[in-house]
């Protein structure tokens, strides 16, 4: 990561949702060293027969505690019945976010700063704000980038996936920041790929670039859910 001297790459994880299964995997291992984790994911994907959502993220940070609990995905729940999985890409000043939502960061000193994102989103959703409004963070808490992936089970029984690409205004003038942090999209006949620009180093196809600050929303209609009356 350009401009960072002491970053470490410790951890990765994924969320895989099918009609009847939710699979999460979190580890503190670097993805290239985690042979068993990669094989686990390959096996799960190979056995899918219907629709699915797959989110995955590598943890890269300049400082912080390392453990599987500090890797993606992060989870949050609101007091008004919304549950979510959260993936975050970008360097964040968690203390600024903590101050903004009125919590003591010292109580979270062993936690990843992405934890504060979940707490902030929860607080905003509990206040009745829209999803886009709920993603707002103080500008001075974001160093350059604030890309998000969210999988939400709302309080109306609906499931949704969200992608939010954000490179802060002051960073847009730097080509290397935009090149490294922009999100790309490719639509196939039966698959939508959205992810890091680094994919273009390995797959040479035509990708579109997601519009900065535009929230993408996907209705997930394949998750099986029904009420059991006890009879």
Is the pLDDT at 2 greater than 70, yes or no? no
Give per-residue pLDDT as tens, 49-94. Answer: 899 999 998 877 667 788 989 889 999 999 999 999 999 988 889 9
Percentage of the chain modeled with pLDDT above 70: 96
Residue found by looking up tokens 């549950």 in the block? 83
User: Which pLDDT band holds residue 39 (cuts at 50, 70, 90)?
Assistant: very high
What distance in Å separates the CA atoms of residue 203 and residue 186, rounded to the nearest whole number?
A: 11
The residue among 70, 59, 58, 21 whose CA lies nearest residue 43 is: 21
Check residue 62 and give its pLDDT: 65
What are the φ/ψ torsions at residue 6 (nearest 5 degrees)? -120, 25
Please state the domain extents for the chain: 65-220
Helix (H) or strand (E) holding 96: helix 94-101
Query: Is the omega angle on the peptide bond into residue 101 within 30 degrees of 0, that is, cis?
Result: no
Across 188-192, average pLDDT: 93
| Mean pLDDT over each residue of the chain, to the nearest integer | 91
Across 1-13, average pLDDT: 66
Q: CB neighbours (10 Å) of residue 210?
A: 19
CB 164 within 8 A of CB 117: no
What does pTM read for this prediction? 0.91
CB 162 within 8 A of CB 149: yes
CB 59 within 8 A of CB 9: yes
Across 98-102, average pLDDT: 95
Check residue 6 and give its pLDDT: 53
Helix axes 114-126, 94-101, angle to 10 degrees: 20
| Residue 53 C-alpha from the chain's centroid | 13
DSSP 4: -
Is the pLDDT at 103 greater than 70, yes or no? yes
Burial of 96 (0-12, 13-18, 19+ CB in 10 A): middle
Is the pLDDT at 3 greater than 70, yes or no? no
């Amino acid at each position: 990561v350009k401009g960072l001297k002491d970053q470490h790459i410790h951890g990765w994880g994924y969320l895989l949702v099918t009609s009847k299964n939710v699979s999460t995997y979190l580890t503190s291992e670097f993805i290239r060293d985690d042979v068993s984790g990669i094989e686990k994911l390959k096996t799960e994907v190979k056995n899918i027969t219907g629709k699915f959502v797959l989110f995955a993220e590598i943890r890269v940070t300049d400082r912080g505690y390392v453990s599987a609990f500090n890797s993606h995905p992060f989870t949050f729940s609101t007091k008004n019945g919304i549950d979510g999985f959260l993936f975050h890409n970008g360097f964040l000043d968690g203390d600024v976010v903590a101050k903004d939502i009125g919590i003591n960061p010292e109580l979270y000193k062993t936690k990843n700063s992405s934890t504060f994102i979940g707490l902030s989103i929860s607080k905003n959703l509990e206040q009745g704000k829209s999803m886009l409004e709920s993603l707002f963070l103080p500008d001075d808490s974001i160093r350059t980038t604030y890309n998000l992936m969210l999988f939400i089970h709302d309080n109306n029984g609906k499931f949704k996936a969200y992608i939010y690409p954000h490179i802060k205004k002051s960073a847009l003038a730097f080509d290397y920041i935009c090149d490294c942090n922009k999100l790309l999209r490719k639509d196939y006949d039966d698959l939508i790929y959205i992810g890091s620009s680094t994919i273009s180093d390995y797959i040479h196809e035509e990708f579109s670039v997601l519009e900065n600050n535009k929230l993408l929303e996907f209705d997930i209609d394949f998750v099986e859910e029904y009420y059991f009356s006890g009879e």
